[in-house]
């Protein structure tokens, strides 16, 4: 019964009109420092090692706060490569934007914003989320936590691509963010705090 309901849901979404533009935003707190997360997100050349569906990642131009890279991506029945520019603003922001167009995407903009959170600030956040608790929710000992804002906007080249990929959008973004989190664990050890969605 559940499978039939899911099948009907997917079919109804396939038959429904689909906008070419899609937007996704996520805000969370991770148990890694801003420097650690920033290092992983800015390591574009290694994306193919830890991001799902990324088969190859090549950096062509690299400067202190700017790079251009090509990602080869395979998802469902689609295999595409696209070139993007990556702008790194100090340690608090990274922006990625599609260069030109391809047969799959007309435009793509992705932004990461990072903010360090002290242990006291983290404890206050936990207290607010557990107002009925008799005891203070003390955050685990760690020098800092990181609040992350992730946004992605893209316009597909045609309605077919938009419809097929739009159905799996939340799943794709979830798997990608989990890929970054796993990479942080591999490089810097387990987080002091489990992913907290805001």
Report yes or no: 185 and 191 within 8 Å, Cβ to Cβ: yes
pLDDT digits (tens, 9 = 90+) for 3-58: 556 555 544 444 444 578 888 899 999 999 999 999 999 999 999 999 999 999 99
Tokens standing for 167? 């159905």
Domains recognised in the chain with CATH numbers = 19-197 (3.30.530.20)
| Per-residue tokens: 59 | 């950096």
Is residue 37 within 8 A of residue 125, CB to CB? The reply is no
Q: Is there a contact between 152 and 173 (Cβ–Cβ < 8 Å)?
A: yes
Residue recorded with tokens 């800092």 = 144
Q: CA 8, CA 157: separation in Å to the nearest integer? A: 26
Measured in degrees and rounded to the nearest 5, phi and psi for residue 121 equal -65, -40
The answer to whether the CB of 137 falls within 8 A of the CB of 61 is: no
Let me know if 198 is exposed, middle or buried by CB neighbors in 10 A (0-12, 13-18, 19+). exposed
Threshold 0.85, pTM exceeds: no
**Helix extents (H) in the chain:** 2-15, 34-41, 47-50, 119-129, 159-167, 169-188
Give tens-digit pLDDT for 149-161. 999 998 888 887 7
Question: For 124-179, what is each residue's pLDDT tens digit?
Answer: 888 887 654 444 455 555 567 899 999 999 888 888 777 777 777 788 888 999 99
Which position has the token pair 């650690």? 36
């Amino acid at each position: 019964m559940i499978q039939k309901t899911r099948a009907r849901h997917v079919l109804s979404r396939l038959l429904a009109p689909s906008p070419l533009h899609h937007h996704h935003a996520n805000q969370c707190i991770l148990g890694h420092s801003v420097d650690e997360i920033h290092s992983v997100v800015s390591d574009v050349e290694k994306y193919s090692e830890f991001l799902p569906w990324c088969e190859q990642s090549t950096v062509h131009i690299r400067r202190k706060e700017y790079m251009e890279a090509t990602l080869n991506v395979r998802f469902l029945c689609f295999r595409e490569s696209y070139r993007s520019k990556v702008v790194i603003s100090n340690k608090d922001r990274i922006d990625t934007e599609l260069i030109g167009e391809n047969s799959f995407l007309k435009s793509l903009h992705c932004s990461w914003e990072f903010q360090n959170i002290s242990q006291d600030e983290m404890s206050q956040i936990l207290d607010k989320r557990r107002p009925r608790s008799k005891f203070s929710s003390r955050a685990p000992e760690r020098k800092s936590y990181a609040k992350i804002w992730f946004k992605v906007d893209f316009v597909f080249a045609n309605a077919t691509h938009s419809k097929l990929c739009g159905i799996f959008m939340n799943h794709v973004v979830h798997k990608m963010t989990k890929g970054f989190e796993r990479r942080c664990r591999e490089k810097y050890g387990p987080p002091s705090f489990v992913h907290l969605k805001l």
